[in-house]
Structure 1
């Protein structure tokens, strides 16, 4: 009995360290892993392996000893690759004929991995369920054909969201905005009315003792009209909807602050907003608590020790040095006061960020430099940095290393445009 208990505990520990979906196990970019490096050797942290990929932005999911990443051969095929977590060598792949090439060529999205299947969406709205044993598609759905879906400007980049037995995906059609499918069969369970379009992803959070699927969308870019909508995941009923926050090209997911607040952010000079949520006898009421002109164009805000951290870097400030001084990593109080920002020193572009072991783990979006930062309201505290991709740091350009990182069992998975690397962050 004692041996069985130990084995069960080890199994739970391994599962807790998986990164099975976009933004990790809790869908917020936060990891419970500990015992990570807080300083690097002079030659940087160990790079365990490198894997050459096609050009793209697709991020990783990690479950057990397997790494899943979406790749794409330009104008030829979409790929789901399964790699060995220890070596980076390919174990198997699923391949599907390409349906064209989106602007900013290459893969998008992050796979969603469960015990028996992997789900992903390609840039043209084809949704796949891939059996982990047979490595074949058990079903697929084209959102534009079944739901008259409209391809977002840069293609579908949303991960397939699984909640219970329901797979939630966004057609963004004129009549149907979001749908819930049976994850085993692909058959429709529910569908919502139109909500415009979006590059943001639906995400699950809990308010008022119930699950909410929340997504930011834009209904009229010229008229500055947008929505933040919450659906019940089991039947698609709208729990609440507000037009208080607008972004003309929504990309980051919203961040839950607590049971009564969410923080919405984005780029394109549309800024950020703290929204209040109150459950009443008549339902949920939303209110604007405060707003800010700064926002994060690609990745969501991280909540750490009752402060908000994001990279305030977007199209309007990344090319001009004087404007770059307004960006970089920034720290805000929950009542809307900016405490500090790094500006151009360092700027860090539109990179991704994870909160783990009391640190912010940040991949520089312009050159791939890895930084460990102590999140402190008192100022920017750099713990360590390393040029893990070997980029030429003397050149000023944006390599578009915008892929969200993944962390599993002390190993960090970072993607450049044409390379995936595994970095060992385990403290010895």
Structure 2
């Protein structure tokens, strides 16, 4: 009898272990599309130099983040006039395969030639959207090209400031791609297995540099796309789209008043409210979705002007770095319900603008010059509980990725002491 119960308990444990989700980071906003991870037992204290570095890998141009699934890391970058997809072993950094194709590109406003979008991993496939509109699906295990589309020619894309910039989103059997075309296909859904178009959300707003996110309102699956392209006068805002057929439920305008401006931060969901922000003139806005799927602006916050990074929802608040420029950057907290600013802290100027990742009861913060810290963030304020200087290099704007206790950080520019652009893997489990 006891032996039987023991066998039953072991079977239950094995079943739970088999059904537990892998510690993956398959998209740049993470497995929950909100910059959070369920990982626990991470190191919250480390020596002055920070957690142990496991490995590093040289990278080319671009500010896209790595994604991780099944023990593999995928990096999308540019080298010698080519866009390159590298697949690495997560434990060692050894390259398993590489796919590349020509992609010479020069942005109109002097930005670098690298891709703007992160890869996406789903169901054994890797999806990448290049700066000139090359969209392809690759086999995660081998790198074999499953299908490929040249969106610029096939869809007659509208002009952009810096090429294609919104990371695609997988929802079920659909690959959601922000576009902006001459015939007003603002967002399209493609069959992720074949690349065939399933629906197109029709709207005049072109593609921004914000990435779409999923949301469920009143039992209905939706796509949230913060659009707005190279329009004069500038137009754009939040589209709430039916994920089933592409119907545009609502379109809430929110865009900087100046032509040379872009929207980058992704929409952030809390209940039936969505926070969107740009950093040039208008700042942030919180949009409330009604049961009939109409939308209205619940509050505005001009000083909650997230720019290169997205805010993170937690405990009825939005936390994020505000400020278009380094000299006015600060970490802020806004209450979702009221729109009140609860506090603002520049953290001693150490991080300037930074990316937040919520995990294991705290927030990891990656500053734009190569600093990492654990932060305790509450409605009452911010406290640094651990900090380290990994390197000193500008444009560390890429959000980090966390998978299986490994933290993946991109150094995008050459830095002090001769350091070169690279992907670095740090140990947060104390292996």
Task: Give the structure-1-normalised TM-score.
Answer: 0.89
Say if 1:327 and 1:344, in contact at 8 Å, map to a contact too: no
Is 1:307 aligned to residue 317 of structure 2?
yes
In structure 2, the partner of 1:277 is 289
- How far off is 1:196 after superposition? 2.5
Instruction: Return the match for 1:9 from 16, 40, 43.
Output: 16
RMSD: 2.0
In structure 1, the partner of 2:36 is 30
Query: Structure 1 CA distance, aligned partners of 2:177 and 2:427?
Result: 34
Say if 2:49 and 2:390, in contact at 8 Å, map to a contact too: no
In structure 1, the partner of 2:276 is 264
Go from structure 1 to structure 2 and tell me whether the alpha carbon gap of 1:47 and 1:133 turns closer, same or farther (over 3 Å shift). closer
Go from structure 1 to structure 2 and tell me whether the alpha carbon gap of 1:261 and 1:17 turns closer, same or farther (over 3 Å shift). same
- How far off is 1:220 after superposition? 7.7
In structure 1, the partner of 2:415 is none
Is 1:402 aligned to residue 397 of structure 2?
yes
- How far off is 1:224 after superposition? 5.1
Query: Structure 2 CA distance, aligned partners of 1:404 and 1:11?
Result: 30
Instruction: Return the match for 1:122 from 117, 130, 134.
Output: 130
Say if 2:228 and 2:263, in contact at 8 Å, map to a contact too: yes
Aligned ranges 1:284-303 → 2 under 5 Å: 284-294=293-303, 295-303=305-313
Is 1:170 aligned to residue 182 of structure 2?
no
Say if 1:204 and 1:211, in contact at 8 Å, map to a contact too: yes
Instruction: Return the match for 2:196 from 187, 193, 201.
Output: 187
Query: Structure 2 CA distance, aligned partners of 1:9 and 1:373?
Result: 32
Instruction: Give the number of equivalent residue pairs.
Output: 405
Say if 1:413 and 1:422, in contact at 8 Å, map to a contact too: yes
In structure 1, the partner of 2:357 is 354
Is 1:228 aligned to residue 238 of structure 2?
yes
Structure 2 segments unaligned to the other structure (5+ residues): 1-6, 413-420
Task: Give the structure-2-normalised TM-score.
Answer: 0.89
In structure 1, the partner of 2:264 is 251
Query: Structure 1 CA distance, aligned partners of 2:13 and 2:97?
Result: 32
Say if 1:329 and 1:348, in contact at 8 Å, map to a contact too: no
Go from structure 1 to structure 2 and tell me whether the alpha carbon gap of 1:80 and 1:7 turns closer, same or farther (over 3 Å shift). farther
Query: Structure 2 CA distance, aligned partners of 1:203 and 1:347?
Result: 30
In structure 1, the partner of 2:99 is 94
In structure 2, the partner of 1:394 is none
Query: Structure 2 CA distance, aligned partners of 1:42 and 1:330?
Result: 27
Query: Structure 1 CA distance, aligned partners of 2:330 and 2:12?
Result: 47
Query: Structure 2 CA distance, aligned partners of 1:151 and 1:183?
Result: 26
Say if 2:165 and 2:208, in contact at 8 Å, map to a contact too: no
Structure 1 segments unaligned to the other structure (5+ residues): 319-323, 392-397
- How far off is 1:145 after superposition? 0.7
Go from structure 1 to structure 2 and tell me whether the alpha carbon gap of 1:6 and 1:340 turns closer, same or farther (over 3 Å shift). same
- Deviation string 1:148-182 (CA, Å, 9 cap, x unpaired) is 01242112122221111111112211212211111
In structure 1, the partner of 2:158 is 150
Say if 1:57 and 1:107, in contact at 8 Å, map to a contact too: yes
Q: Secondary structure at the match of 1:144?
A: helix
Query: Structure 2 CA distance, aligned partners of 1:249 and 1:375?
Result: 29
Say if 2:57 and 2:423, in contact at 8 Å, map to a contact too: yes
In structure 2, the partner of 1:329 is 331
Query: Structure 2 CA distance, aligned partners of 1:137 and 1:73?
Result: 20
